[in-house]
Every structure is written in C-alpha cells, then in structure tokens.
C-alpha cells in the first residue's frame, strides 16, 4: 500500500512539483495518472521510488515513511518498485539478456555482479520474463537492434526480473505508435492481473486511460484534482482535469487494431 | 515587375552573420596575417644567408648520412625493444590510473562539484607540462635510464588520456544509469553495467592512440637521457657517426610505421 499524506514538493528552483497531495493506492490496483504536460505526473511517480524527494508531508510505502530513507534503505525500497520509462532506458550496446539481468542488480552483491556471476535461478528468471513478453528469441541481440516496441517489452522483462511489488510506468507509450502502444499496455495489464502487481501508469491519452485503468487520478499544477474509478469518469471529467476542451491529440486511437 | 520582386527578396533575406561579427572576424584575420608576415621576415634576417643558405648547408650534412651502416642492426635491436617496452609499460600504467581520474573528472558521474573541479584542474596542470620537460626533470632526479623515461611518459599520457576519456564519459546516454538506480543498483553496479559498456570501445581506441604517441615520444625522450633507442641515437650523433645514426633512424621509422598501422587497424575494427 502506498499512502501520500499532505505531500508537497518544491524543486530547488522554486517550481512547485506537488501540492498537498493525499492519496492511498491499494495493493493490486491498476491506476492511471492523467494530466497535461507539466502537471506533476512524473514528480508524483518518481517520489514513490525517491528519484525525487518531497519537501514536506509523509509518504508511506508498506506503512513505512520512505522520506527518511538513505543508503541501503533507499536501495531496498527501489528493488521493491520497478520502473518503466518513456525512452526504455536500456544499455543500447549490451545484449537483451544482459539488460534484463540488470533488473537483478539490486538483489545482487557488488562483487558477484561485477564478475557477471549471476545466480542460475536469476538467469532462468530473466529468460522466463522475456518469454512472458514474447521476445525470448531476441535474447542475444544488441538492444539497439530492436524496434521501439520491442525495446519497451525488454524493459518490462527487466522490471519483471526485478520481482518488484510495485510497477511505476512513466509515459511508457509516448514514443510508440498506436498498435504498439496498445500491445505494451496490454502486457502491463496482464502482469498486473497475473502477479497482482500494483501498477501506476502516467499517460496523457485519455482513451487509453479509460481502456486500461481501474482507477484514474487527475493532476493539474501539482495537485490531485480528480480521483475515482473509471466508471465515474466522463469526457467532462477530463475537461476539468485539463482545464480545456478535449482535442484530437489527447487521444491515442487505434484501439481496434491491437 | 521582375526587378521589383528581386529587390524585395534581396531585402528580405538576412545575412547569416551579423555585421558586427563580420567586422570582428576580418580584424582578427588581418592581425594574424600581420603577425605571420613580420615574424617571417624577422626569422629570415636572423638566419645567416636566409632560406637558401640554410638549404645548402642542410644538403652538405645530409650527404654524410649515406649510405646507412647496416652492421649496427644487431646492436640496436636491444635498445629498440627497450623503447617499445617503455611505451607499453607507461601506457598500461596510465590506462589503469586514468579510470578513477576520468570518472572524477566527468561532470555527470562526479556530482560533487569541488571534487570534480579539483580533478579537472589537476589534469589541466598535468597537460601543460611538456613531456620533454618531465623527462629532463626525472633524469635529473633519478639519473639516466629507462625509469625516468617511463615516469615521464606515464604522467604525460595520463594528462591526455584522462581528459579525453572523461569527455567520452560525459557524452554517454544517462538513461540506463537512471534505470539501474531506480531498480536499487549501487554506484559501482551502475558504472559497471551502464557506463562501461558505453565507453569501452572508445577507451580501448584512445589507449591505443596514446600508445602510438608514446612510442614516438619515448624515442624523443631517449635523446635527453631517458634510455632506449633515443639514447643510442643521441650518442651516435654526438660521435658524428652519421651512417650509424641513419640506420637507427630508418629502424625507428619502420617500427613506428608498423605499430601505427597495426594500431590503426585495431581501432578501425572497434568503432
Ligand atoms: N528537476 C526539476 N527541477 C525544477 N523543476 C522541475 C524539475 N522536474 C520537473 N520540474 C517542473 O515541475 C513541474 C512538474 O513536472 P513533471 O512532474 O515532469 O510533469 P509531467 O510529468 O506531468 O509532465 C513542471 O513545471 C516542471 O517544469
Ligand atoms: Mg512527465
């Protein structure tokens, strides 16, 4: 369970990232965070694994306030929260399997990892994860030989290999075309169901949010301005979150193609 | 009609550089040209007889170098190998010492600003000392031999290598580092898995490049007493034994060309 209690975040330059955020995210939920660019979606998600640190309030992950964490506590928190990025963030020159095994680094001692001496079960797990996103045949390819959609699947396999409790996905489909976007979202949804992994996804496409989310959180200027199940969301809700009428480019489209 | 259209287009197209820049560049150009011209005439008048006299003198000396004495080949083989060893040892030590220095001098890895600035400044100072000066100092300190030469080469190549590699490190894609940090990896694991694979080909290539420089530099260092073939060459020139000196120069030439060729081929294959 993740709980935000009166969380504020002001960046060193004075920009307000989060303002009085109060949220509870329960285990197993699939939450989509929507909002215009600059609304604070990334800041919200990156607070949970402390890539950024809120300046006040409490942030509880499994009932522990993570804002005081440093050093090894912080690394332990991060092994629990897997992250997926807009630009996949793979080591382009390394093979797919090496990239996926990097998901185990947080669980592996420094010496063991430097000598590439991953445990047998870790290598097995990495291969299993690749199979789950249907890309096991690319195991020895260099990451930069793959298409965008394939690279994002490898990054999902990396997160699976990490065996986290939470998945944080920051605009995972923003660099992909509509059919590939749906494919990636379908995998995230499937993993959420099969492994009961709490998943938080930032998206700015409202049709995709509606299609995949259980619950939608709307953000504007660092504040949570909407929080409710998909069934309560209408076009009007989005207009309120975005503070303007809905446009063509707020939609990803291509839902029928997947 | 067409005339009018032409003037309009002319007026609408702005110059790529502002007028101020143009004037500045022209002024700098003429100042540099003036410096060249004055220094050329000044040098001419300093040399007795100018260029023509110098050329004639050079020809007279050159003749004495021929034919080269092939009999010295067996005797110079040992010092030649010493020179190569000097370059290999110096390059290897520098290549190892470079790793921590280059990491500390890369702004994206060393986020501690003072530490980064201190390392940068240290490397900049290293690079301002010419290799010959280093060799003269170390020969003075440790006496004639290979050791001062190796020491001079290590410091000289460390300056170049650490600078070039820190710049390579600063150009890497930081995204995978972020992904690994987000998955709980520590700093060593991030460097090992995200950074090293990105810089390794460049690193090997630069080390080979510095090795090439070191081969040539180690010959020159020998001239000031730092051991190897340069020392022998200097002795032969001192004894006015020009045919021997010529043979040594030819051997150096062949070895340097061969090593450069091999090293270039390897570097081409890497990048
Ligand atoms: N490192 C930073 N330093 C200063 N301001 C930042 C930083 N990161 C984000 N911001 C600002 O914080 C606000 C929220 O950004 P972000 O969380 O990235 O929004 P979103 O992901 O919804 O586009 C924006 O105004 C952005 O410019
Ligand atoms: Mg963002």
H-assigned helices in chain B: 2-12, 19-46, 50-64, 73-104, 113-128, 131-142, 146-170, 175-182, 187-190, 196-223, 229-238, 242-270
Vertex B217: Cα angle to B216 and B221 (nearest 5): 125
What's the pLDDT band for B1 if we cut at 50, 70, 90? very low
Q: What is the pLDDT of residue B148?
A: 85
Cβ neighbors of B35 (< 8 A, separation 6 or more) are none
Q: Which of A169, A174, A176 is nearest to A84 (CA)?
A: A169
Considering only residues A200 and B156, tell me which one the structure prediction assigns the higher pLDDT: A200
Q: What is the pLDDT of residue B47?
A: 57
The ligand whose atoms approach the alpha carbon of A21 most closely is 1
**How far is C-alpha A172 from the chain's CA centre?**
7
Superfamily of domain A2-257: P-loop containing nucleotide triphosphate hydrolases (3.40.50.300)
pLDDT per residue over B58-108, tens digit each?
A: 777 777 777 877 777 787 888 888 888 888 999 999 999 999 999 999 998
> Which H helix or E strand runs over A18?
strand A16-25
> Which H helix or E strand runs over A239?
helix A235-242
Whether A200 and A168 have beta carbons less than 8 Å apart is answered as: yes
Strand, coil or helix: A236:
helix
Q: How many residue pairs from chains A and B have C-beta atoms closer than 8 A?
A: 80
Q: What is the pLDDT of residue B220?
A: 82
Token duo for residue B130: 């010419």
Q: What is the pLDDT of residue B2?
A: 47
Strand, coil or helix: A152:
helix
Query: Which ligand 1 atom is nearest residue A13's CA?
Result: 4
Q: List Cα–Cα distances, A208 to A180, A233, B202, in angstroms.
A: 12, 13, 42
pLDDT per residue over B205-257, tens digit each?
A: 899 989 988 888 888 888 777 778 888 888 888 888 888 888 888 888 888 88
Q: Is the CA virtual torsion A188, A193, A199, A204 positive or negative?
A: positive
The C-alpha atoms of residue B204 and residue A117 are separated, in whole angstroms, by: 24
What's the pLDDT band for B51 if we cut at 50, 70, 90? low
> Which H helix or E strand runs over A80?
helix A71-80
Mutate to test the pocket of ligand 1, among A36, A37, A43, A203 (most ligand atoms within 8 A of CB): A43
Q: What is the pLDDT of residue A180?
A: 92
> Which H helix or E strand runs over A83?
strand A81-84
Averages of pLDDT over runs of 10 residues in chain A (258 residues) are 95 95 95 94 96 95 93 93 95 93 90 82 92 93 94 96 96 92 94 95 91 94 94 90 86 66
Q: In this structure, what is the dihedral angle of CA atoms B121, B124, B126, B129, given to the nearest 10 degrees?
A: -130
Domains plus CATH for chain B? Answer: 72-270 (1.10.3720.10)
Judging contacts by C-beta atoms under 8 Å, the chain B residues touching residue A158 are 179, 183
pLDDT per residue over B21-32, tens digit each?
A: 888 888 888 888
Residue from A45, A89, A90 to probe the interface with B (highest B Cβ count within 10 Å): A89
The C-alpha atoms of residue A8 and residue B102 are separated, in whole angstroms, by: 38
Q: Is the pLDDT of residue B17 over 80?
A: no
Q: What is the pLDDT of residue B53?
A: 66
Average pLDDT of the residues in B32-57: 71
Average pLDDT of the residues in B149-156: 89
Whether B138 and B156 have beta carbons less than 8 Å apart is answered as: no
Going from the Cα of A101 to the center of ligand 2, the distance in angstroms, rounded, reads 26
The C-alpha atoms of residue A244 and residue B86 are separated, in whole angstroms, by: 72
Q: What is the pLDDT of residue A85?
A: 96
Q: What is the pLDDT of residue B223?
A: 79
Work out whether strand A64-65 and strand A56-61 pair parallel, antiparallel, or are unpaired: antiparallel
The C-alpha atoms of residue A158 and residue A145 are separated, in whole angstroms, by: 17
Q: In this structure, what is the dihedral angle of CA atoms A210, A211, A215, A221, given to the nearest 10 degrees?
A: -40
Strand, coil or helix: A32:
strand
* Nearest CA, atom 26, ligand 1: A38
Residues in chain B: 271
Q: What is the pLDDT of residue A99?
A: 94
Average pLDDT of the residues in B48-66: 70
CB atoms inside a 10 Å sphere around CB A46: 20
The C-alpha atoms of residue A149 and residue B26 are separated, in whole angstroms, by: 53
* Nearest CA, atom 18, ligand 1: A42
Whether A167 and A199 have beta carbons less than 8 Å apart is answered as: yes
Token duo for residue B206: 């630069």
The C-alpha atoms of residue B237 and residue B235 are separated, in whole angstroms, by: 5
- Say if the Cβ atoms of A114 and B188 lie within 8 Å: yes
A77 min Cα distance to partner chain B (Å): 7
Q: List Cα–Cα distances, B67 to A117, B63, B246, in angstroms.
A: 62, 9, 8
pLDDT per residue over B166-210, tens digit each?
A: 999 999 999 999 999 999 999 999 999 999 999 998 999 899 989
Token duo for residue B73: 């080949």
Q: Is B174 part of the contact surface with chain A (CB cutoff 8 Å)? A: no
**What is the chain A residue with the closest CA to B176?**
A89
Q: Is the pLDDT of residue B45 over 70?
A: no
Q: Does the beta carbon of A223 lie inside 6 Å of ligand 1?
A: no
Query: Which ligand 1 atom is nearest residue A204's CA?
Result: 22
Whether B101 and B162 have beta carbons less than 8 Å apart is answered as: yes
The C-alpha atoms of residue B106 and residue A88 are separated, in whole angstroms, by: 24
Give the start-to-end residue ranges of the domains of chain A. 2-257
pTM: 0.79
B200 min Cα distance to partner chain A (Å): 10
Mean pLDDT of chain B, nearest integer:
84
Whether B223 and B148 have beta carbons less than 8 Å apart is answered as: no
């Amino acid at each position: 369970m993740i709980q935000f209690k009166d969380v504020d975040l002001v960046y060193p330059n004075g920009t307000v990232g989060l303002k009085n955020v109060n949220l509870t995210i329960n285990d197993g939920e699939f939450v989509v965070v929507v909002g215009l660019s600059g609304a604070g979606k990334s800041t919200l998600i990156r607070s949970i694994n402390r890539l950024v640190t809120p300046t006040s309030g409490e942030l509880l992950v499994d009932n522990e306030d993570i804002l005081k964490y440093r050093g090894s506590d912080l690394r332990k928190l991060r092994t629990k929260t897997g992250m997926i990025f807009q630009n996949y963030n793979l080591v382009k020159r390394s093979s797919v399997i090496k990239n996926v095994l990097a998901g185990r680094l947080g669980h592996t001692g420094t010496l063991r990892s430097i000598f590439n001496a991953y445990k047998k079960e870790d290598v097995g797990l990495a291969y299993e994860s690749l199979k789950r996103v249907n890309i096991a045949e690319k195991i020895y390819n260099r990451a930069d030989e793959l298409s965008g959609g394939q690279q994002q699947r490898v990054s999902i396999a990396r997160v699976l290999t990490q065996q986290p409790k939470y998945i944080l996905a920051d605009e995972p489909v923003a660099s992909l075309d509509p059919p590939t976007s749906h494919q990636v979202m379908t995998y995230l949804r499937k993993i959420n169901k099969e492994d009961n992994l709490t998943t938080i996804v930032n998206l700015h496409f409202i049709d995709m949010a509606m299609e995949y989310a259980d619950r939608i959180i709307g953000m504007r200027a660092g504040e949570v301005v909407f929080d409710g199940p998909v069934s309560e969301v209408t076009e009007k809700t989005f207009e309120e979150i975005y503070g303007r009428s809905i446009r063509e480019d707020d939609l990803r489209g291509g839902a029928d193609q997947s | 009609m067409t005339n009018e259209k032409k003037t309009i287009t002319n007026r609408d197209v702005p110059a790529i550089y502002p007028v101020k820049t143009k004037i500045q560049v022209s002024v700098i150009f003429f100042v540099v040209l003036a410096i060249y011209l004055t220094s050329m005439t000044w040098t001419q008048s300093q040399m007795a007889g100018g260029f023509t006299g110098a050329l004639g003198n050079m020809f007279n000396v050159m003749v004495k170098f021929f034919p080269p004495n092939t009999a010295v080949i067996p005797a110079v083989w040992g010092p030649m190998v010493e020179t190569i060893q000097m370059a290999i040892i110096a390059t290897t030590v520098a290549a190892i010492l470079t790793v921590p220095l280059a990491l500390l001098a890369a702004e994206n890895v060393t986020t501690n600003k003072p530490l980064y600035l201190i390392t940068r400044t240290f490397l900049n100072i290293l690079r301002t000392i010419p290799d010959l000066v280093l060799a003269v100092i170390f020969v003075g300190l440790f006496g004639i031999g290979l050791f001062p030469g190796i020491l001079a080469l290590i410091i000289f190549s460390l300056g170049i290598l650490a600078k070039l590699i820190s710049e390579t490190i600063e150009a890497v894609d930081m995204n995978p580092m972020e992904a690994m940090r987000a998955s709980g990896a520590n700093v060593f694991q991030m460097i090992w898995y995200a950074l090293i694979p990105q810089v390794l080909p460049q690193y090997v290539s630069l080390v080979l490049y510095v090795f090439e420089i070191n081969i040539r530099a180690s010959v020159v260092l020998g001239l000031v007493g730092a051991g190897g073939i340069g020392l022998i060459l200097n002795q032969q020139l001192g004894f006015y034994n020009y045919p021997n000196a010529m043979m040594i120069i030819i051997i150096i030439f062949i070895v340097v060309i061969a090593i450069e060729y091999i090293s270039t081929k390897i570097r081409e294959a890497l990048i």
